[in-house]
Structure 1
Amino acid sequence: MGYVFLALLIIVGVAFMVGSRRERTRELERKSEELALVKSAAAEDVTSFGEEVADLDIVTAGVELDEGGRQDYQRALEAYDTAKETLDRVEDPEDIGHVTEALEDGRYAAKCVRARVDGKPLPVRRPPCFFNPQHGPSVEDVDWAPAGGQPRPVPVCAADAERVAVGAEPAVRKVATGNGHTRRAYWEAGPAYAEYNRGYFNSYAGSGLLPGVLMGAMMFGGFGGGWDGSYADGYQDGMDTGGGEDMGGGDVGGDLGGGDFGGGFDFGF
């Protein structure tokens, strides 16, 4: 009996080890696939910003920039270089936020250069356009909801504000998901994109410029599909807005409860 029992233990142990190895292999394959998708999306954003930086050469041709203009120009160039170099070093989806953070900063700097060339006041530093961060800094908040949802304020660029005002569809940023053949709005793309999203918006978490409903989802994983709706707990543990907005357990907390955007706008998303 002793030998039989020992043999059974060995068989169970081997089966467990094989199963664990297969599970680890599947997990590594999943993370590798997610990384490829997220890096591809970030590479598209880097390329888009690179074209914007190249356009600055045309915009500033024959223009004598003042010291502030030269600094803004240099900041845009450095942000582009940082985004490229960081993207090359990314080995995990969680690192991608450093790329999009650099792009967000660079786009604001580029907008400042254009304002100086046109003799206009410098733009207010605002969150990126919610519909597509490639559009650069937003200029206002507008109420919007997808089909069947309830309107909530989101930061948008001027072009998308015009589209929403006349009932047209905004120009939404779509990224590859699943097998790479399906493209969805970046906020619906799943947990692999959580850091990609947060990189664009994190710096506005305590500024009062980011609508609370977006802040809650962004800071606690909702954009990537990992947020479980426990906004109040995450708020208490992770941030303090200094009383600037009713964020904890109030109107915003209630709307976010259950992981949806006021009913219909699933903040998983």
Structure 2
Amino acid sequence: MRSAARLAGTAALTAVAALWAGAAPAAADEADVERYLDEVAVELAEPGVWIDPDAGGIIGDVEAAQLDDAAAEAPGNGMRIAVVPAWKLDPEGQERLFGRTLLYEGEELASQMYDRVGVDGVYAVMSVADSSYDGRGLFAVQHSEEGPTYYVEDAIDQAVDCCAPNYGPMIDRFIERSSDVDHPLYRDAAPWAAGAAGISGGWWGATALSARRRRRTEEQRHLDVVRPLLTEEVIELSDRVSDLPTTSDVTQAALTKEILDTVEKARHRLDATKTDGDVQAVTTLLGTARYKIACLEALQQGRPVPEPTPPCFFDPRHGPSTQRRQWSPAGGVQREVPVCDQDAARLDAGEAPAARQAGSRSYWEGGEDLVAYIEGYWNGSAGSTGSWRFPHDDHARARGSLWSRWDSRRPRARLASMGRSLSKAASSAMTSSGDGSSGSGSGGGWGGGSSSGRSRRRSFGGGSSRRSSRRSGGGRRF
């Protein structure tokens, strides 16, 4: 049904675009961008996610379909999201050699789509490039004459902070957060509206306590899933290190003692585990122990001590990775993953390596329950000074959703939300006051005032005359 509606809307908007095709552009190079935006608007006649074929297959077909459905079903008339190459938004196109200057920047780019489609709702444009310098960014805005205001500006920050530069998880996080209603100030301010220090202090404490309790409940659920995995790994590694041979070599003997101590620390930490932080500490210790075992084996065989590497992607129990191979998840995009020698041989032979299982699923499909488990292994567990990026988007999506939710419940985050609401209320009041004293207003034509200073061009829905409907928006390069 939605596909049929989109086809009907596309046909109608295509006809309108054809009527306007003869309008005289300001300049040939800018006109190319304007015509392209008209074409994108046709694709956004119905809510959903449209990906320009020239964007280079950055999102798998299955994930793209899921994102399209999520955007179409979002509250407030759905969302319209375009994923486009940054060079098509640059008046110089692919001829520019250094950096990239977009014809429209920030939320103005998303407002351009609103002007052309002319339907109230949330609009977003994801510009695809190799870096922020080349124009890579996320720009979004909500224009609505009525109905609630959504957290569009905050959604941009959360999407970039949690998931950049993974386009699929970024769009997923943006849709999730910008579906939340930005409540009026009085609703957030109610707990301390009396203004008394005691009440505000009580609100802070109650909010913090509620946040901790809700987090502990979620962490207990995570622990119920991950404790059997950790218990199995600690026992397995304990048996392995108990069989390490004694040696008269001072260096090897010291390393053997470090391995035994590390495994013992992991066992004690597991016994006392209550939080995700504890889970992460246990897997960090287990990863460190396996790396030290690899170092000990190298010394015993007369080889150089290996550099720290991420664990084998398919099963961290295999120890540090030694090679890299191309691999594609079901319905996903091919990517490079670190693997051990055994799994590399299986992939080379066309076989699927046996993945670490969490219940009936591969561990990277465990969602929020396995976030801490993965983070411990992939954030410097082998003594690295940095961290390694886990090469599966499901983890980035789950981590971003979990951490953002926990952070949003804290008193400081709640106060920040109140501050944003107060700022928006003050801005709205000033805008209303300015409208009332401005006399007859602006003149006719296609104008209406662009934040970039450019004159407004043709608009499918006449949205440029309704810029006062702007609710929330912003943009970030990343």
Same-fold call, TM cutoff 0.5: yes
* 1:225-236 map, 5 Å: 225-227=398-400
1:153 aligned counterpart, secondary structure: strand
Residue 117 of structure 1 is matched in structure 2 by 300
- CA distance in structure 2 between the aligned counterparts of 1:151 and 1:215, rounded to whole angstroms: 10
* Partner Cα distance (2:325, 2:218) in 1: 37
Q: 1:195 maps to what in 2?
A: 372
Contact 2:379 2:387 in 1 (8 A): no
Structure 2 residue runs of 5 or longer lacking an equivalent are 1-211, 402-475
Aligned to 2:229: 41
Shift of 1:98: 0.4
- Alpha-carbon distance change, 207 to 119 in structure 1, aligned in 2, over 3 angstroms: same
Q: Pick closer, same or farther for the CA change 1:69–1:32 going to 2, 3 Å.
A: same
CA contact (8 A) 1:69 1:112 kept: no
Match of 2:15 in 1: none
Relative distance call for 1:25 and 1:105 in structure 2 (3 A) is closer
What's the TM-score once normalised by structure 1's chain length?
A: 0.63
Contact 1:86 1:99 in 2 (8 A): yes
Quote the Cα distance in structure 2 between the aligned partners of 1:209 and 1:90: 23
- Report if the CA contact (8 A) 1:96-1:196 is conserved: yes
The answer to whether the 8 A contact 2:262-2:285 is kept is yes
Deviation, 1:187, is: 1.0
Do 1:87 and 1:96's aligned partners in 2 also have CA atoms closer than 8 Å? Answer: yes
Structure 1 residue 74: deviation in Å? 1.1
Aligned sequence identity (%): 32
SS class of match (1:155): strand
Deviation at 1:55, TM superposition (A): 3.0
1:104 aligns with 2:287: yes
Compute the displacement of 1:45 (Å): 1.4
The answer on whether the counterparts of 1:142 and 1:156 sit within 8 Å (CA) in structure 2 is: yes
- The structure-2 alpha-carbon separation of the partners of 1:105 and 1:185, relative to structure 1 and needing over 3 Å to count, comes to same
Q: Which runs of 5+ in 1 are unaligned?
A: 1-23, 177-182, 229-247, 251-269
Give the secondary-structure state (helix, strand or coil) at the position aligned to 1:113: helix
For the 8 Å contact 2:380–2:387, the answer to whether it is kept is no
Relative to 1, partners in 2 of residues 1:43 and 1:224: Cα closer, same or farther, differing over 3 Å?
farther
Q: Distance in 2 between matches of 1:158 and 1:124?
A: 16
Q: How does 1:62-141 map to 2 (within 5 A)?
A: 63-64=247-248, 66-141=249-324
SS for the counterpart of 2:353 is coil
Larger radius of gyration: 2
- 2:17 corresponds to: none
1:32 to 220, 223, 227: 220
Alignment counterpart, residue 142 of structure 1, candidates 302, 319, 325:
325
What is the one-letter code of the residue matched to 1:101? T
> 1:166 offset after TM fit, Å?
1.2
Provide the secondary structure at the position in 2 that maps to 1:225: helix
Q: Kindly tell me: are residues 249 and 124 of structure 1, through their superposed partners in 2, closer, same or farther at Cα, counting changes over 3 Å? A: farther
Question: Residues 97 and 199 of structure 1 are in contact (CA less than 8 Å); yes or no, is this contact kept in structure 2?
Answer: yes
Separation in 2, partners of 1:26, 1:97? 19
Letter of the aligned partner of 2:374 in structure 1? N
2:395 maps to 1:222:
yes
- C-alpha deviation, 1:26, in angstroms: 9.6
RMSD in angstroms over aligned alpha carbons? 3.3
Q: How many residues align?
A: 194
Contact 1:192-1:224 within 8 A present in 2 as well: no
Q: Helix, strand or coil for the counterpart of 2:361? A: strand
Distance 1:187 1:153 in 2: 15
Q: 2:243 aligns with which of 48, 55, 58?
A: 55
Q: CA deviation at 1:89?
A: 0.6
Counterpart in 2 of 1:184?
361
In the TM superposition, what is the alpha-carbon distance from 1:27 to its structure 2 partner? 8.3
In 2, Cα distance between equivalents of 1:249 and 1:44: 44
Relative to the length of structure 2, the TM-score reads 0.37
